[in-house]
Structure formats: C-alpha cells, structure tokens
Structure 1
C-alpha cells in the first residue's frame, strides 16, 4: 500500500456520487414554455424525472410527460439532454484524488441517481482511465430506487459488505448525506474540502500527525493572529511535555523535537526573542516568568539542587492573598489562575505542594465557581485551566488533593463536551476527558476532522499578550495536543 503523508491507512470504503464530484452539468439551461421558461434543474427535481431515473418510465414517456406538464416541446428537451451526453467530461482533478486514495487500498464505489440511458452514454464515451477508479458502480436505474432512500444505502452496504462506520459517503446534497449518516456511515457534502476530508477519513490521524512533526525537523514557528513571527521557548516546551519527548516516541528511535531550546540557568523565559535577545510586544527589559520556568522544570528537569533553589526563589513572589505571581519582578504584580496552577503543579512534582495552601484554595474556588469560564489574563479559554488542573492531579502524589478535586473537576469538564473550540482547545479538552474517564466522541471526531492535508493541525491560540492584543499560536503545539489526545483515546 502507498501511504498518505508517509504513513499507512486503515481499511475503509468510500461511496462517491457521480454528478456532484466528477461532472458539472449545466442544469441552469432553459427550456421555452408558453410565455416563460423552465430550467433543466427544475425538470430534474420532478417526480416524473425521478421515476425515469429509477426505470419506472422510459425516456420517451418521461420527456412526453414533462413536455405536457410544463408546456414545452419534448424534442427540445431531448436535444438538450443529447448535447449534455455528448459534451459532459469528467473532472480530472477530482479523479486524481480518488486515484491516489485507491492506490493505498481503499475501496471506492460510484453511487448515482441516473437513468440507464444517461449512464450508458457516459460509459461509452469515457474510457477505462476513469472507470478503473471504482470497484463497482451502483445506479438508481439498476437498483430501482434513488438516494436518499434508505433502501439504496442498505443495498450498497450489503452488496459491498462494507462496515457502515468504516464507510464514507460523498455527495453535494445535504439530504443524501443525512440519510447516509442515519445508517451509520460518515460523509460530507462540502465538495470544496474533498481532499482533506477524504484523506482524514482514510488516514490514521495520530500517525499522520507524528509524521508532520518529524518532517518539521524541530522547526515550529510561533506566530500571532497577524502572522507575525515570535521566537520563544514556550511552544517547544509544550511539545516536549505533551508528547513526553525528547524520549524516542512510538518506536521511532528519534526525538520529534530535534533541537530542544537552551535556557539560561537557573531560570527559563517565555516571550524572549532568542535570536536577537530583544523582547517583542513588551517593554525593553522583559522579566523571567514563573509560568514558563515551571514548564521548563517539569519538562527538562535540572539537577535537584538547582530545582529546589528556584522553588525557594518563587516563594519571594507570593502576593498578600497567598497567590503566586506571574513574573520574577515585584514591579509587575500580575496574578493568573493558570499560571498559579502551573506553579502549583511544579511544587507538587517536587513534594512541596503543601507550601502553597492559599494558592490551592484559590484554585479550588475558581473551579467550583466556574471563574475560569472566559479564560484568564494570559490564557484564552476554560480548557487551559481545566486541562492544567488534570495535569496537577497526574503529577501530585497527595491523595487528599485528588479526593477533594477530582469529582468537581469531572463535572466541570463534562460540561464542556461538545462546545466550540479550536484545535489547541479541543486537544486539551479531550485529554482532560481521557484522564477523567469521560467519553467525548463528539470532540474527538471534531478534532480529527480539523487535521490538514499535510498531517498537522492549524496554529491556534496558546496564550495571550494582553498589552499588545496578540494571540500567540504554534502549529507544532496544536498538533502535539491533537496527536496525544487522539492517541490516548485509541489506547483506552
């Protein structure tokens, strides 16, 4: 089998409509009636035409009945149809998509509402380069029933021995697609996104995502919503942590991030332009932050003595409420619930979570009161907080903490299932659900469907730079979250 994006695919079946995908007939052509006109599209939507397509009427009977109903000359309709039979060609670009898919072992069947006369004309005109794409053809005139009749779909499934949930249906009619979904298939009527949609269905999203990360060779540009590039450490640390890299991943024998960032000891910094040493979208002297420091210590832990010395220093940056601040700079008294939670996770990793009791109480209050619902100063959505809290539970060895937090956290995460979200957000949501044992098929499917043709996911907001009104994203980070979320689910 030939892989997609360098990876093999699962066993699948595709059912594809003829007219929607491979031909583009001019159905807006007009027929002259008594003092007006009627379009071919209108003619082809009548019950008379439908009976013709299922073999209940002959061509002569169909044309004569329509001519009588709409007051045009039957010979005019016959001439129009004959011209379409002689001039309609198949779409080379669409065909190439399915040729590629067929080469990897996917079965493809043509399914069409078409009269026996129209089908015979196309069959005679088009050569084997087109017809060889398909493992079989099912037409309404042969079956005696049209889409969207459920009998049509059930007959095709039986005849092909296709498993419904492993079968994908492509048609430009929403009602035809709905009927396919109702018998257990997946499908789309968005023909403009055909290649990406079909590729996502036949390919393994985890393998394709990992292949994308490897092809990047450790280069994961971080950008704003205005496509401005930022050189920073945070995204690479996220990738390292989420995928448990730089350990060899999935027997690949190599790290997905070949060049981990180098940090000036003993602290780690976030929004620093490491190429020029000049900060971006902030003041000239940008301070180290406790947030990225915590992520760095959790992901690439230094010597224990150094780690504990940094934790000791963090104690100097706790406000009057007992909450940890964002920066190692008392002139910037910023407090963020997600930042505080990430610092708390670091303290628990080193067995010192009890040293931040007020921070934990605040986090618990944020959870119970849904104060996270609109995101925080630096993090854009509720999932940033909820996922980070599941991360704390994974790291902590304190049974009392888990007993207290896990039940309300499970309720809050369950409330988010099926809600809106970009790739980064959905990755965190699905991972939180996986950890807590919450079934979340809708968001898993939505996340998988967002995969791009190259196997990666689009950059979506990791964090905010509020003063500059910048949303900062990274394709590598979005892809890492998506891959891990879908991988963890598949292993359950």
Structure 2
C-alpha cells in the first residue's frame, strides 16, 4: 500500500478559520437573525457581486421585516468584531517554514468586496497567502463546484495535491467531490493534526518523535501516573532495533517488570517469566545462562502443567500472552517440546477465541494475535507452524476491519504480515491517528488485573505504528 500523497497546496476559508468574528452586535438584531441574513440568497447574491451593498441592505430589510439602516449598522458591528486567529496562523507559518518552499498556501472565501476590504485591514500574516480568491471577484461562491474548479485552474494544481479547510461541512463536501482533501474546521487541535498528516511524512515524523525522547519513553497509566518499567522498553528496542532509545535495568538472569520498584501493587513484586523471556532474547547471554534460567522456568507451572507468570510458587497465575512469550523463548532455543501443555492451552485459546476481550494482564485481542505471530517468527519448527499458522491467519482475517486504537491496529497489521495477510484498511485507519508531534497516543496494552488500571506507552505505540507502515509499504510476497 502506498501512503497518501504529501499535499503541496493548502486552501483556507477566511471567516471562522483565518479570521474570527462575533454575531453579537449593539443593534436590536439578534445573532440568530444576523446569521439568517448572512445565509440568505440575498446575501449570496451580494457575495457574488451581483447586487450592491445598498441593495443588499434594502432587500434584507424587506425579507426579514427590518429597517435597512439597522441591518447596515449590524453588519458594521460584525465587521468591527473581526480578529485574526493568531494561534492558528502561527501554526500555518510553521508548516510553511518546515516545508522550505514546497508548500503553497491560498485562501478562498465567500465574501463581498466591501467586507474583503475591511478584512484586509485586520493586522495578520496576509503574506503567507500566495493569492486570496473571493466570491466577489470570481462571481461564484462556495459550495458551487465551478468556484473550486476555477481556483484549481488558476493555481494549476491537481485536486489530489490540495487540502481544503473550511468550517462549513457543505463546502468541504464539495471540495472532496472534486478529489481534494477536505478538513472541517471544528476542533483546532484535530485540524492541526490532520494538516500534519497531509503535509508531512509519517515515518520521518515518527522517528523524530522517538529520537527526541530517547531514554524518556516511559509508560503511563490511564490516570496519568508514570510507570517506570522494563517490559515496554524491551519491546521498543526490539521493534526499532535502536538500543539508544530505551532505558531499562539490565538483569543477567531473571528480569523484573519494574525498573525502580513496584507501584500500585505489593511492596515485594516477584520477577516474571514474561519480562525475563523477552529480556533474554534481546540481550542474548551465553548458553549457560539461557539453559539455567529456562530450567528454572520449568519449575513454575500450575496444576494443569501450564507455565505461570511469576517466579513465585505462591502466585500460580496464568495468562495466555505471557505463555506465548515463554513459548517463544523455548522454541527459539529448540526446547519448545518441554512446554507441550502450555502450547495446547494457547492453541485452545486461539481456536475458541477466548482472547477476544483481552486477558488477565493484557488489554486487547490484538495483543494475543501479535504475540502469537511473534512465536511463529521466532521458530522454524514445522509442526508448530503447521498447527498455529493456519488458525492464526483465520482469526486475524476475522478481526480485520474491527475498531481499534493505534496499538491494536498496528499489532493487527504486523500479525497479519507474518501469516501473509495485508490489512490495508487498518493502515488507512492508523495514519490519521498520528499526533501533531509525530507520535501516536499511548493506547492501553497491559493492566493491573485486580484494579483495572491500564498502562500504555507512546514510544511503544509509535514504534509499532512505524513498523506497520513499513510492513505495508513493502510489495506483497507471493504465497
């Protein structure tokens, strides 16, 4: 899948986007009536330059049973209230500067000639606009398609290279119908994020986000507390192959989830087989360490013979995703046969869809599907592939198109690639979720089972999102 084209032309509406105004006036005409006047066919004719200002006031007075002079004073008050939307304009200037001359910026407005003269008197960065197209000058107005076509012809731009921003949904729809990219100006932060999406490269932006925060990519809870832990750091390292991005406490043998001591749980928190499995595979100690730790792991199973989570016989808790990570370690070392009961259990979880609402420690179905795919990637065992791969492929196809946050979408894409499934719709959902700073929001990956507190990591979500983009950028592999 190719990424959306980087757009090189931005067209902005003036009123309620570049300029703000107030419908509250000193006259007897209410804001509601003023807005009705401004949306009337009489005013539309005035904006097209087909009737004079005096004629507009006279006809508006007749239409709304008002004194034409009162209409005039109301419009003068509205003009006086015009202000520059300075914060948003500074953002546009930043976009233009970052593009280093590769971004053309225009304005396109339904506005009468007198109102445009008044608007140009407002102090703002008018120099950012290569040209301002007005309905009065063109004799056309939005959402007339001919006005959009006129502008496109004048600026010599392909519709697919243009982003149009307007507070009126009808105008945005018209622009989209011609092949332009449309953004409704409703929430400023969302609009800024969308403009970054259309004008920047998501991969370079994501990498810049990670590099700027190297060593500070900490996890957070859904209530905002920082969780200083090892597990997400290891996964970020594995996803990016950039050790310099992460900060963890290295353990020569057995790893603990927490880096500086447990929080929101018991004061003495045991080391776990989950973090240890990932830690060993990444740090690659000598064979003696591998074998001794794995021998110790085999001592921690429950009454069903399934590998448990902790190096603590008093906590015989199981989680199928933890089990997948343990299996991954054992299969990567040619010892998968020693955990046959654990394998049968996770296959049963997959077959019967027991993972759909998450697991004891992990939040989403995609976590299970992703780590199952990682087990396949880490092993060359033909029997394992024969049993796991077809079923995993089937379950991923079932999950395709389901709603999900950025991490879930990324995990689904990455899991699909392992079994030959290209989930391009998921990428189309993932890309617009990239934040203005280049990263993706944390998404919830794991949780405290007894409190329901959720934990996520922006660095982890961003690393997975970048891998998902890279995976689908590559051409399909013949199966």
Aligned to 1:466: 449
- One of 371, 378, 386 as aligned partner of 2:369: 386
C-alpha distance after superposition, 1:456-486 (max 9, x if no partner): 2333322111234322222222222222222
Aligned to 2:55: 61
- One of 9, 13, 16 as aligned partner of 1:13: 9
C-alpha distance after superposition, 1:239-293 (max 9, x if no partner): 11111233xxxxxxxx333x45311x311111x3x43xx4333334322211111
Q: CA deviation at 1:238?
A: 1.1
Aligned to 2:118: 121
- One of 93, 105, 110 as aligned partner of 2:107: 110
In the alignment, structure 1 residue 144 sits paired with structure 2 residue 139 = yes
Distance 1:164 1:299, change over 3 A: farther
Aligned to 1:321: 304
Q: CA deviation at 1:86?
A: 4.8
How many residue pairs get aligned? The number is 466
* Unaligned segments of structure 1, at least 5 residues: 1-8, 247-254
- One of 221, 226, 229 as aligned partner of 2:223: 226
Query: 8 Å contact 1:31–1:39 — kept in the other structure?
Result: no
Query: 8 Å contact 2:25–2:31 — kept in the other structure?
Result: no
TM-score after normalising by structure 2:
0.88
Distance in 1, matches of 2:276 and 2:463, equals 20
Q: CA deviation at 1:19?
A: 0.6
Distance in 1, matches of 2:453 and 2:274, equals 18
- One of 148, 161, 168 as aligned partner of 1:153: 148
1:110 is paired with a residue whose SS is strand
Distance 1:449 1:37, change over 3 A: closer
After TM superposition, the structure 1 = structure 2 runs for residues 294-443 of structure 1, keeping only pairs within 5 Å, are: 294-443=277-426
C-alpha distance after superposition, 1:304-337 (max 9, x if no partner): 2321322222222233434221112222111111
Across the aligned residues of Structure 1 and Structure 2, the Cα RMSD in angstroms comes to 2.7
Distance 1:209 1:355, change over 3 A: same
Q: Higher mean Cα deviation, 365-374 or 184-193?
A: 184-193
Q: Higher mean Cα deviation, 79-88 or 235-244?
A: 79-88
- One of 262, 267, 270 as aligned partner of 2:254: 267
Distance in 2, matches of 1:49 and 1:413, equals 55
Distance 1:46 1:31, change over 3 A: farther
Aligned to 2:232: 235
Q: CA deviation at 1:225?
A: 2.1
Distance 1:440 1:155, change over 3 A: farther
Query: 8 Å contact 2:253–2:280 — kept in the other structure?
Result: no
Q: CA deviation at 1:488?
A: 2.9
Aligned to 2:21: 25
* Unaligned segments of structure 2, at least 5 residues: none
Query: 8 Å contact 2:82–2:122 — kept in the other structure?
Result: no
Distance in 2, matches of 1:156 and 1:440, equals 37
- One of 199, 214, 221 as aligned partner of 1:217: 214
2:128 is paired with a residue whose SS is coil
1:467 is paired with a residue whose SS is coil
Aligned to 1:448: 431
Distance 1:285 1:97, change over 3 A: closer
Q: Higher mean Cα deviation, 46-55 or 405-414?
A: 405-414
Query: 8 Å contact 1:431–1:484 — kept in the other structure?
Result: yes
1:267 is paired with a residue whose SS is coil
